[in-house]
Structure 1
Amino acid sequence: MQPNPTLDQLQVLVAVADTGSFSAAGRKLNRAQSVISYAIANLEAQLGLRLFEREGTREPTLTTEGKAMLTDARRMVGVLSDIRARAEGLTRGLEAELVIAVDVTTPSPALTTVLAAFEAEFPSVGLRLNVGTLGIVSEQLLSHGANLSIGGQPVAISDELVAVRIGDASMTPVAAPRHPLAAYKGRVPLSVVREHIQLVISDVSQMTKGKDFGVFAYRTWRMTDMSIKRDLILSGLGWGGLPTWMILEDVAAGRLAVLDLEPYPERPYQLHAFYRADSPPGPAASWLIERFKQELLKVCSTLPVVPQRGASAA
C-alpha cells in the first residue's frame, strides 16, 4: 500500500524543521513533545525514510531525505493555508475571483502597482484581466463578463452602470520626427491633417459600430492594440493620438514629436471605475477602486507637461 501522510504530519515536519527541536515544535503547535515525536515517527514509518538524525546531536537534524521531503511538505502546507484563507474570506463576503476589464488607455504603471499590491493584500482571490478598447470594456460589464471595469467615459450611458471617478489622463497627437506633420511650420490645419494616414484604435464590440472618435484623416489604419499603434507611429507610417503617460520617454529621447494640430489638441479625459448597479463591489473590488485612486493620483502628479510645438513656435 502506498504511503499516505496526513496534512497534520506534514505540518509537524515543517514545525520541527523551522523551530529546530521537538519541544519547540510542540510549543508552536500547542502540543506535548511526545505527540510531536510520535507524529514524526509515524511519518517516517509510512514513508520508509529516516527524516531526522537524533543520535549524537542535541537537537534533531534533517537527513538528506528529510530535506527533500521538507520541500514537498512546505508546498502542501502552503496549499492548506491558501484553502483556509479562501474559506475565511468567503465567510466574510470576500470574492473568490475578480474579472476586471481594463481600457488600453489606462496608465500601465498604475495598473502594475495596483495589481502587485492586490496580490499581497488578497492572495486567495483569483484574478482575470481582460484588456480592451472603447465599447469592449462596457460590453463585458453589461453582459456580466466582468465584475469591474477601468477606463474612460463609456460609449453608451446606461442606468445599469455605476461610475466612480478614479483619476485623469490625456491623449496627445504624435508622429515620428521625420513625418511631414512633425516638420510642418506652425499649427497644422485640418486640410493638411486629412492628407496623412491616421493610426486609429479600433473597437470590435457592437457598442461603437458605425461610430468614430477623433478621426480626421481620409485614410486610416486601424488596430486593437495600443502598443502596436505606438510602434507604427515610431516607424513613421502614420500619426495618431497616444496616452500621454506612454509617450514621455519617446518625446524626451527624440523618438516622437508632439504635433500641434488644429483639429486635435491634447485631449484630457477622466478615468472611472465602473460596476453594475445590481452587483455592488465586494471587499476586494472596493479595495481595488480605492487603490486605483491613490496610484493614478501619484502618476498624474508626477507627469511632466508635454511641450506643444505651437507654443514654442509662437
Structure 2
Amino acid sequence: MLDTLTLDQLRILIAVAEEGSFSAAARRLGRVQSGVSQAVQGLEEALDLALFDRSGRRPVLTEAGSAILAEARQVVGRANGLRAHAATIAGGDEPDLTLAVDPLFPNAVLMESLRALQRAFPLLPVTLLTEGLGGPEQRLRDGVARLAIYGLLSAAAADLHAEKLTDVLMVPVVAADHPMASQPEPVARGFVEEQTQLVLTERTPLSQRASGGIFSARLWRFIDLATRLEYLLAGFGWCHMPLHLVEPHIQAGRLKRLRLEQSAGMALGLHVVRQRGQRLGRASQWLVDDLRRRLVAIDPPAAAAGTDRRPSP
C-alpha cells in the first residue's frame, strides 16, 4: 500500500495539521473539504495508521501523526528542492560544480568567492579539490573536475582551454635561525648551492616540473605545500613560497625573506583551465568573474621589482 502514497497527500497532511481543520486546509489549498478528507483517509490507509483523532470538534494529531508529519515535511522539502534544482538546470545552470585548485592560489580570495557563490546559487552542490602541481590538470582530464585553477607547467595542450587569472609572487624564504638568514645579501650563488632546498615534486605522472627555480645541489622533495611549510619553519632548508602564505610568518619573525644572487622572487601565473569545447555553465562563469573582481585589487606580482617568470618548485 505504501506505493500508493503521494506527495499531494503529504502536502494535505501538512496543511490540515497547520490550519487545524479540514475546512481551513481546503480553503488554503483551493480544494473542496471532501477531497481533503478523502486524501487524509487514503494516506492513513496506505500507512495503516490513524494520523488524526477525530473524536473532538477539531482533528488532533495522534502521536503517530506527529511523527509522520515531521517525516512528511522533510520529504516535501526535498521534493521542492529537487524541483527547484531541476528548474535551475533547465535554465542553463550546471547540475554541480567540481573545482580543482592549486594550493598556491590565495585561499582567502577563494573562500570569499565560494561564500558568495553559495548565496547566488544556493542549490548548487560544490566539490572543492586542492592538489598541487599536476593534480588539478589530472582531475580535469579524468573528467572529475569541471574547472581547474593552476599554473601551467608547459605550453597548454591542444585539448585544454586556459585563461590567465592572476600571478602569485613566489619569494625565497628561510627560517629566521637558519644560517642563510644571517648571510650578507644578496646571498652568494656558491653559498646557496651548498644549502638544502625544499622543492615540490609531482604526485602524478601527468607532467614534469621544469628545472627553473632550483638553485641548490641538495634537494628535499615534498608533494604538498603545507608539509613543505612545516619543514621550512623547522629550519630544514630554504625554498620559494607564495608571499601571501608566508607573509604572516615573516612579519612574526619566524621566517626571513631572502634576496639571492639568482632570485629575489618570481611571478607564477595561475590560469583558469577547462576542457576545450566545453562551455562554462552559468555558475562556473559567475565564479570565475567573481574571482577576477576580487583579484583586481591585488597589485600584479609581476610588477614587483626584481621578479622574473620562471616556474618555481
The bucket for the TM-score relative to the shorter chain is: 0.7 to 0.9
Alpha carbons of structure 1 residues 53 and 148: separation in structure 2 relative to 1, 3 Å: same
Take 2:182 and 2:27, find their aligned partners in 1: how far apart are those partners? 76
Cα pair 2:193 2:217 within 8 Å, conserved = yes
TM-score by length of 2: 0.80
User: C-alpha root-mean-square deviation of aligned residues, in Å?
Assistant: 3.3
Alignment partner, residue 190 of structure 1:
189
In the alignment, structure 1 segments of 5+ residues that lack a partner are: 309-314
Alignment partner, residue 12 of structure 1:
12
Cα pair 1:171 1:268 within 8 Å, conserved = yes
Alpha carbons of structure 1 residues 217 and 293: separation in structure 2 relative to 1, 3 Å: same
| 1:116-159 deviation per Cα after TM superposition (whole angstroms, max 9, x unaligned) | 33344334444443322233333443554532111234423234
Alignment partner, residue 311 of structure 1:
none
1:1-314 equivalent positions in 2, closer than 5 A: 5-16=5-16, 25-26=25-26, 29-51=29-51, 64-142=63-141, 144-209=143-208, 211-297=210-296, 300=298
Q: Percent identity?
A: 35
Cα pair 2:153 2:210 within 8 Å, conserved = no
| 1:26-73 deviation per Cα after TM superposition (whole angstroms, max 9, x unaligned) | 555444455444433443444354545677787x66555444333322
In the alignment, structure 2 segments of 5+ residues that lack a partner are: 307-313
Alpha carbons of structure 1 residues 64 and 134: separation in structure 2 relative to 1, 3 Å: same
Per mean C-alpha deviation after superposition, the further-off stretch among 252-261 and 23-32 is 23-32
Take 1:105 and 1:32, find their aligned partners in 2: how far apart are those partners? 63
- The offset of 1:19, in angstroms, is 6.0
- The offset of 1:227, in angstroms, is 0.8
| 1:254-303 deviation per Cα after TM superposition (whole angstroms, max 9, x unaligned) | 222222222232323333211222112122221221122133346x37x9
Alpha carbons of structure 1 residues 178 and 6: separation in structure 2 relative to 1, 3 Å: same
- The offset of 1:177, in angstroms, is 1.3
Cα pair 1:54 1:61 within 8 Å, conserved = yes
TM-score by length of 1: 0.80
| 1:227-267 deviation per Cα after TM superposition (whole angstroms, max 9, x unaligned) | 11111111111221222221232223222222222223232
Alpha carbons of structure 1 residues 2 and 282: separation in structure 2 relative to 1, 3 Å: closer
Per mean C-alpha deviation after superposition, the further-off stretch among 72-81 and 113-122 is 113-122
Take 1:57 and 1:171, find their aligned partners in 2: how far apart are those partners? 76
| 1:148-186 deviation per Cα after TM superposition (whole angstroms, max 9, x unaligned) | 111234423234332233333222222221111122233
Take 1:3 and 1:141, find their aligned partners in 2: how far apart are those partners? 42
Cα pair 2:174 2:258 within 8 Å, conserved = yes
SS of 1:194's equivalent in the other structure is: helix
Cα pair 1:173 1:264 within 8 Å, conserved = yes
Take 1:265 and 1:104, find their aligned partners in 2: how far apart are those partners? 22
Q: Across the two proteins, how many residue pairs are aligned to each other?
A: 302
The residue type equivalent to 2:204 in the other structure is S
SS of 2:194's equivalent in the other structure is: coil
SS of 2:172's equivalent in the other structure is: strand
The residue type equivalent to 1:69 in the other structure is I
Cα pair 2:162 2:274 within 8 Å, conserved = yes
Per mean C-alpha deviation after superposition, the further-off stretch among 149-158 and 227-236 is 149-158
Alpha carbons of structure 1 residues 22 and 197: separation in structure 2 relative to 1, 3 Å: farther
